[in-house]
Structure 1
């Protein structure tokens, strides 16, 4: 019995070492926002245009795969959400937000809102003029700082619809707190109302710029609808009145396909969404096959009509994106979903890295007593949000994503997005979402009290570990420091997509805590490993005559499962997903991220990095466009683990979607300020031009000059414990 007790104590002690809660050695993070901008030594505003749209509307490149301006110059974006903060910010605070984002390297923002009428006693054709003014204010404020805007004006989730659907709207079966998934696609009254809303938004002169949005080059992309599709699980939850309406339209479609036949009823009953996710068992003329084809045809026609309305009726000159959603089966339906969207110029998706957070309110907050799995993308590379199959001839955007709280490994996120986004040609990755004009000073819902603690906002990106890592990675993305390279080009036929055949490679499913009321046990496997996405760009082309794939490299040389390593086709990125260490090695940017003390030393040509940190992200990035060996100005950026003061957790096993997961139980959500785990390491740079190291605070202002050890052709610096931004210069 004593032996068992001793083993239990030992096991508990070993597990406890993984908790990594703040102690007295951790440093206090602060942001002094009232210092003079003239003292900024780290300010990326100069990367932006004098004003957004200075060189005309954002357009497609010659091959359609990326963005250019009217001079056909490539435009590279570092992006975030947060445009809707305009609804609650006064002019001074909104201007402060725009200045801060530009300073951090952001040059495009997304306004995710709802232009529809809100609440009781409204009429469906009315416009929420208050929301319209917020959008106009956002565009005007961001434009002055060289930040473009993407506008997403409608999301059928009830919370965005205003919290109450009046019966007076006349949408059969929908009232009160109903979500309105799929209504816009099939209800003509809803569709005409949507057109009335956006007509007002885009054709009324913006009172803050005197220019209607349709003629505003500072608006880069119009998004028709956020997160909705008949090919998703929500189709099985539509109200009976809408199901009947869809059934009537399905019957009409069947008659157009087969002609008048006695077997076609006036209303065809819809099959469950689940049936679309399983292997086909019937011939091509089966009812299920027809239903899938009907949904695809109908959704494609809807987006084509919306493109026509925006472009030809309203006169909007911006690029257009249909939606950004996924499907009930990524393997069997996602290519079909992307095809329905490809009548518009831009493809998008919302895809988060899941912190495996479980609790009664995990859809919007982090409570004491919640559980989380503490995954790092470095050990779970198949879940990276940048693992995307691009559509050939269309730019690709991730319009919502992040390493959301309570994720402890946030500092890896921005680096991985910049590195793998650059490799694969990802055109914009919008972090979701800033919740303050700079860093969130109060990330808690203070109106709630749980045994003396306050829940945290799980969706804020305004944290040291996320928005704090923007500068170095904005430089990497904006200045093209990572080589883009394609590794796989796929072609698919409409026949195989309508048959729901599993393609050789597909994107892994991501989890939404607010929407996945059905979790399919999808056993589908592609011929190619999902790690292929980490070797280079993967693209697909639709309407082909034959299903084909073309590889540009021998994947066996790049993906080595026995060693748990994957290398990019360019040789610039390498991931050891067993130990959880990522290395970026380009002429102008070098970085390591992960559980560094398992290796300790990293030789990256001109740069050597050593670290004893259990976890850290360390980056050196040229700020003057020259290779690091010749640069006169280098940003050294360091991120470890950030936690609130008093944060406490303990090892625990919990149920994560019917799977027992080792993780942590949150004992205390803590309080402000943020604390940072001390950095422990050194960097050496072979560069005879660098002779000074200046430690900066979070606002980019000088704190002190550090002891830089110089040799004939190199410099060495021991990282201070509170390292965040350090400027190496001549």
Structure 2
């Protein structure tokens, strides 16, 4: 209590006596508490249901889109978030001493368009430290703190019309106790075990039973029967097709090898027939006389093998996928039939060791569940002592932009036809500088591609996250946050763009039909999600029966949906001619709807639809500005995004209510850096930056210099909105013929244009 009192007193004194620091060309972002007033010009809480799940459980349409319980379409603007996770709350010296409350966080997120939150949880029992006096839990014991947090969170988000999704297990977090009597004791590596080890599976099922069937004390009903819980994710980030499979320990590896032998004999009738099919290919540790077959290193599957080894690799891959599918099938039955869950189920969200040869096989393993997913971040090089979780002085980094190179765009996804697809962890990761493009690009291309959710990672505050320590103790900055003004500040417009259906879904650029045998033989697809995919090099082993013989440019992902149909005939594959969506030199891509364009040499992306227009650009290199069908925009800013949305369902040129959102760069106060040459793997290097000061609160936002001309005869007033979307002044709006002109405020993020007699909100 004393600590809290002193913090409040200190904060009050600082607020009263010290103006926030100002840096040249920037403005300090010191947000006020949101009053949640009815006078707000925009409150996207109104898009949410009164309470999440009030119409029943979320469902999936025949086309693979989400539906509310009453059958109406629903689109999710999603985040990963944490609040009130650990009770009692223990403050950390470099974070606020006030506990972030779920109710406040939920209201804040709902206002800014969020209607789905993922809870990244770990239900497994936690093993005390070696010097601890705490008793060692049993393997079957659930972590009651995590259980209680999920119960609290689902109930709190539900009240604001926000659905929940949870992930209960992550192999990285699964630690073992010597007292459990398992092989390797505390040194046991959990990767891959959940797919086949019955001891771990039974414990895992027990954790889920307790979480899902016990009445939630905050709602009175068990989660299994609560439609506010939309999706259950079986586990986070694990696969037999990732490099961690090479670390499988004995006796588990031998156990899996015994299962492989049995599977092979069932497939071929006898092992001798299998050996003949494999050209007598052997692996160290094979003991067929004892019923054991070992596994080639995953690396072999990433290579273009032929002959006997290729045949054995095909069977190894098929077996691994069969094992993962069998686990997923078992868990779907368990959740639905034994626990009575009405939720949709997602298998996991991981990737394979080779996005060209193995990624479709990975997704094929997910098909017993309702929803497919991946975790994928937009990032550059980041080197430093604590680079996996913190940003610190001395770190080196690069700062790519999707406007310059979209091959690493998280939404470059081969979507299995008829299934919703989620990106369950994602962000433009700090210390990248060009993060403002994130919400703008995600909202635009989610709309075009029909991808069903992009979960920003992560948020642990009630609202805006100031520049602060990565863990509450170390002098550093957070790496995995999105609640900064350059990212979260763009949520209102981006969420409305996507959830409001302002942009049309595009025609499929590619619908690739693939047989299971094509997967097992690791035949290359016509376009892959790999950032390094080269259609001239990597697509030399496509299915011989494919109706499309030429690989596609990776830019195809940005033109329209790329779909995969499994268990089908490659002769049914179809693709649009590239001249329909690519410039002649393949440096610009146009959506199949005609509403989105990306020009790489110009470093420019444009949205131009009847009700939504704007651009993301490196503006200072475009003195001619950007013109859409209704807007003309000029700026001297080095970089930023602009979005204009009609709020009355009228085309922008006839709208009487237009929301304009601008986002530029942001850095902590005092941030400094210098050019640096960064060594990377393989002996090469890349040009980037070295952080010489990682800064402190508050955020400093690059001032806006944006001048607009909008063709519209109805607009007569320009109202500045503050960070809480409350009216905070006006700017001059002049008219010339059928157009209005205005300069966006230097120190603001939002503007509302209305008719003179229009009332707020």
Kept in 2, the 8 Å contact 1:83–1:110? The answer is: no
Q: Quote the residue 2:502 is aligned against.
A: 481
- What aligned pairs does 1:317-466 form with structure 2 within 5 A after superposition? 317-445=342-470, 454-466=475-487
How far 1:447 moved relative to its partner? 5.6
How far 1:444 moved relative to its partner? 1.7
In the superposition, relative to structure 1, how do residues 620 and 230 fare at CA in structure 2: closer, same or farther (>3 Å)? same
TM-score using structure 1 length: 0.91
Q: Quote the residue 2:191 is aligned against.
A: 181
Cα distance in 2, alignment partners of residues 510 and 440 from structure 1: 34
Q: Select which of 642, 651, 654 maps to 1:630.
A: 654
Q: Quote the residue 1:586 is aligned against.
A: 609
Kept in 1, the 8 Å contact 2:605–2:616? The answer is: yes
Q: Quote the residue 1:708 is aligned against.
A: 733
Cα distance in 2, alignment partners of residues 625 and 62 from structure 1: 28
Q: Quote the residue 1:135 is aligned against.
A: 150
Cα distance in 2, alignment partners of residues 544 and 436 from structure 1: 47
Cα distance in 2, alignment partners of residues 418 and 714 from structure 1: 28
Matched, 1:148 2:163: yes
Cα distance in 1, alignment partners of residues 341 and 108 from structure 2: 29
Cα distance in 2, alignment partners of residues 258 and 394 from structure 1: 33
Q: Select which of 306, 309, 315 maps to 1:281.
A: 306
In the superposition, relative to structure 1, how do residues 548 and 596 fare at CA in structure 2: closer, same or farther (>3 Å)? farther
Matched, 1:100 2:97: no
Cα distance in 2, alignment partners of residues 113 and 594 from structure 1: 38
Q: Select which of 256, 260, 263 maps to 2:266.
A: 256
Q: Quote the residue 1:76 is aligned against.
A: 75
Q: Quote the residue 2:693 is aligned against.
A: 668
Q: Mind listing any 5+ residue stretches in structure 1 that lack a counterpart?
A: 1-21, 512-521
Q: Select which of 126, 131, 151 maps to 2:141.
A: 126
In the superposition, relative to structure 1, how do residues 482 and 36 fare at CA in structure 2: closer, same or farther (>3 Å)? closer
Kept in 1, the 8 Å contact 2:467–2:697? The answer is: yes
Kept in 1, the 8 Å contact 2:238–2:350? The answer is: yes
Deviations 1:133-184 (A, max 9, x none): 10011000000000000111111113xx3xx4212234322515x5411110
Kept in 1, the 8 Å contact 2:398–2:689? The answer is: yes
Cα distance in 1, alignment partners of residues 242 and 228 from structure 2: 33
In the superposition, relative to structure 1, how do residues 487 and 395 fare at CA in structure 2: closer, same or farther (>3 Å)? same
Cα distance in 2, alignment partners of residues 229 and 85 from structure 1: 31
Kept in 1, the 8 Å contact 2:370–2:419? The answer is: yes
In the superposition, relative to structure 1, how do residues 174 and 635 fare at CA in structure 2: closer, same or farther (>3 Å)? farther
Q: Quote the residue 1:497 is aligned against.
A: 519
Cα distance in 2, alignment partners of residues 270 and 312 from structure 1: 35
In the superposition, relative to structure 1, how do residues 669 and 285 fare at CA in structure 2: closer, same or farther (>3 Å)? closer
Kept in 1, the 8 Å contact 2:439–2:494? The answer is: yes
Q: Quote the residue 1:171 is aligned against.
A: 182
- What aligned pairs does 1:503-518 form with structure 2 within 5 A after superposition? 503-508=525-530
CA RMSD of aligned residues (A): 2.1
Cα distance in 1, alignment partners of residues 195 and 36 from structure 2: 51
Matched, 1:467 2:492: no
Cα distance in 1, alignment partners of residues 404 and 100 from structure 2: 43
Cα distance in 1, alignment partners of residues 260 and 41 from structure 2: 62
Matched, 1:113 2:121: yes
How far 1:510 moved relative to its partner? 9.6
In the superposition, relative to structure 1, how do residues 199 and 437 fare at CA in structure 2: closer, same or farther (>3 Å)? same
Q: Select which of 563, 570, 577 maps to 1:546.
A: 570
Kept in 2, the 8 Å contact 1:25–1:678? The answer is: yes
Matched, 1:25 2:35: no
Cα distance in 1, alignment partners of residues 396 and 407 from structure 2: 22
Q: Select which of 684, 709, 718 maps to 1:693.
A: 718
Deviations 1:61-98 (A, max 9, x none): 133x1001222211011111114654467997110000
Q: Select which of 531, 556, 564 maps to 1:532.
A: 556
Q: Quote the residue 1:314 is aligned against.
A: 339
How far 1:340 moved relative to its partner? 0.7
How far 1:368 moved relative to its partner? 0.8
How far 1:130 moved relative to its partner? 1.5
Cα distance in 2, alignment partners of residues 426 and 119 from structure 1: 39
Q: Mind listing any 5+ residue stretches in structure 2 that lack a counterpart?
A: 1-21, 90-97, 129-135, 276-287, 541-550, 756-761
Kept in 2, the 8 Å contact 1:564–1:576? The answer is: yes
Kept in 1, the 8 Å contact 2:191–2:248? The answer is: yes
In the superposition, relative to structure 1, how do residues 87 and 714 fare at CA in structure 2: closer, same or farther (>3 Å)? farther
Deviations 1:334-355 (A, max 9, x none): 1011111011111101011013
Residue 448 of structure 2 aligns to a residue whose secondary structure is helix
Q: Quote the residue 1:571 is aligned against.
A: 594
TM-score using structure 2 length: 0.87
Worse overlay, 258-267 or 489-498: 258-267
Count of residue pairs the alignment pairs up: 688
Q: Select which of 615, 618, 629 maps to 2:639.
A: 615
Cα distance in 2, alignment partners of residues 524 and 665 from structure 1: 35
Residue 119 of structure 2 aligns to a residue whose secondary structure is strand
In the superposition, relative to structure 1, how do residues 483 and 542 fare at CA in structure 2: closer, same or farther (>3 Å)? same
Q: Select which of 592, 595, 611 maps to 2:618.
A: 595
Deviations 1:593-637 (A, max 9, x none): 120222231111111111121111111112232221222222111
Q: Quote the residue 1:17 is aligned against.
A: none
